[in-house]
Amino acid sequence: MDSQQMKRALVTGGNRGIGFAIAKGLLAAGYELIITSRSLEDANQAANELGNGVVPIALDIGDDLSIEQAVRSVSKDIAYLDVLINNAGVYPDKNTDVLTVSRDVLETAINTNTFGVIKMVQAFLPLLEASQEARVINVSSGMGSIGGLTSTAPSYCLSKLALNGATIMLSQSLQTRGIAVNSVGPGWVKTDMGGSSAPRTPEQGADTVVWLATEAKHGESGKFWRDRKAISF
Ligand code: NAP
């Protein structure tokens, strides 16, 4: 499936929620697509629903072996990746606050939402470097901004605050290699994570991510975006 003309993207957690909507948006923009889910069956089902030759792979971003296997499997078929969208994430805080949260819950959030993203960029770097204008987009949250920190969601907020920190550092490190790295806050979105009261559709949540992947100036890097505008961290 290698053809230098085609733009190619990988979306983690592309099987449902905002990730599925990002996948639909990228397909509509003509991108070749790889989507991941922790279960290959779920990834297969979503890929069939999306159609147009979407490639499904199994990936747990909390597990380095799984990340290595995913890179090996993808690298058999492709020689470059233009866009890496780190969308997969968890919200493990339940009936807790910063005074009671367990270490387990803190670790689950930061291991997936922050460390998983850093390890994904490290692992996919050779494929990203082989693209002319690679972009990494990290799906963060307004709850990870300084003004959005909430004591009742300690693990989630800290993991997204740290993810925004990782975006800044990755952007610095990858600037000389021509790879743009940005964070996006999708707003409160109706998904399994966001719940049924959320005001935004997954497509609205995906909009800025798809725009950054396909239309935004490549020179934009190291920023936090919401509704196609840079906002403060
Ligand atoms: P969702 O419907 O719960 O979907 C989460 C996705 O992440 C699923 O595809 C899930 O895959 C994947 N995932 C979770 N843990 C993973 C792991 N260890 N390895 C690989 N994949 C994993 O949530 P969503 O609302 O679409 O959220 C997508 C992103 O937007 C997240 O980063 C979230 O923090 C962010 N966000 C959401 C909202 C909101 O209101 N919904 C607001 C701000 C930010 P499986 O199917 O395999 O579990």
| pLDDT tens per residue across span 54-107 | 999 999 999 999 999 999 999 999 999 999 999 999 999 999 999 999 999 999
24 pLDDT more than 60: yes
| Ligand 1 neighbourhood includes 18 CB (under 6 angstroms) | yes
Atom of ligand 1 nearest to the CA of 17: 26
CA gap 218, 49 in Å, rounded: 31
56 SS3 class: strand
User: Which of these, 226, 230, 112, 117, lies nearest to 167 by C-alpha position?
Assistant: 117
- pTM of this prediction? 0.97
Q: Ligand 1 pocket test: which of 12, 193, 210 has the largest number of ligand atoms within 8 Å of its C-beta? A: 193
| Ligand 1 neighbourhood includes 35 CB (under 6 angstroms) | no
| pLDDT tens per residue across span 60-70 | 999 999 999 99
31 is catalytic: no
CA gap 105, 146 in Å, rounded: 21
Mean pLDDT of all residues in 165-171: 98
